[in-house]
Amino acid sequence: MVRVLRDWWAEAALLTGFVVLTAALVWWAPLLAVDRAVRDWCDAHRPPWLHPVLVGFDLLGQRALVLPLVLVVAGVLAVRRRTVGPLALAVVAAAVNSVLVEVLKRWTSRGAPHHGSIEMFSGDPAVEYPSGHVSNGLVYYAVLAVLLSGVLPPLARQLLRWAPGVLVFVGTTGLAWHWLTDSVGGYLLGLLQVLLLRRLGKFSSRGP
């Protein structure tokens, strides 16, 4: 048991963090006050010039835009290398992320900052927790970084792997399209998936 905890501490910490955050949103009212305060601050400190910048950040996590890119890159590599490995990695990562986020969103049924209820399990049709855009910004770009491991230098791969998730977090929260805790939940969930994929040996230094 000690060895398991030592080897899996990062994944366990992320999963625990997500569970604790979700529970706190249900039973700890001050956290909802933080969400409201962050939304109001962003609304009051978002100059017109910043709006399109934040929209651009948010679009980095738009599945309809980034997933086709991932699949095209994976498909080209699969043909060139004559192996289904790259395509399998892209498809599995996309499927797991999409299903996991969608199930959690519908289960928690939380509204958006400017329409719907801030309460969890409200039955609101606007399902916002956790942020799928933020999770996408971690999972899809981590896959891209691996697929392009033979093309990009190490620093570029690290930027591709980690920068989009942070930018999407800033964009969607700054626009008040998601509550702050939606974005935190999406980041925890996305990072957990990246670590689990790496654990399965998919993210080796040589790529798929």
Read off the pLDDT of residues 97-133 as tens digits, 9 standing for 90 and up: 999 999 999 999 999 999 889 999 988 788 899 999 9
| Pairwise CA distance, residues 61 & 131, whole Å | 10
Q: For position 48, what pLDDT does the model report? A: 96
Mean pLDDT of 4-12: 76
Q: For position 116, what pLDDT does the model report? A: 87
* pLDDT above 80 (res 14): yes
| Pairwise CA distance, residues 83 & 16, whole Å | 37
Contact 32, 117 (CB under 8 A): no
* pLDDT above 90 (res 15): yes
% pLDDT > 70, the chain: 93
Average pLDDT, the chain: 91
* pLDDT above 50 (res 149): yes
* pLDDT above 60 (res 164): yes
Q: Domain residues of the chain, as ranges?
A: 2-199
DSSP character for 118?
S
- State the pLDDT confidence band at 78, using cuts at 50, 70 and 90: very high
- State the pLDDT confidence band at 205, using cuts at 50, 70 and 90: very low
The token duo for 126 is 């606007």
Lowest pLDDT segment from 120-129, 145-154, 195-204 = 195-204
| Pairwise CA distance, residues 157 & 151, whole Å | 9
Q: Which residues of 12-23 are buried (b: 16+ CB within 10 A; e: fewer)?
A: eebeebbeebbe
Contact 182, 130 (CB under 8 A): yes
Q: What is the C-alpha radius of gyration for the chain, rounded to an integer number of angstroms?
A: 18
β-partners of residue 115 are 112
* pLDDT above 50 (res 82): yes
Mean pLDDT of 183-188: 98
| Pairwise CA distance, residues 113 & 90, whole Å | 32
Cis peptide bond upstream of 130, omega within 30: yes
Contact 170, 120 (CB under 8 A): no
Mean pLDDT of 17-43: 97
* pLDDT above 70 (res 3): no
Q: Structure pTM? A: 0.91
Q: For position 5, what pLDDT does the model report? A: 59
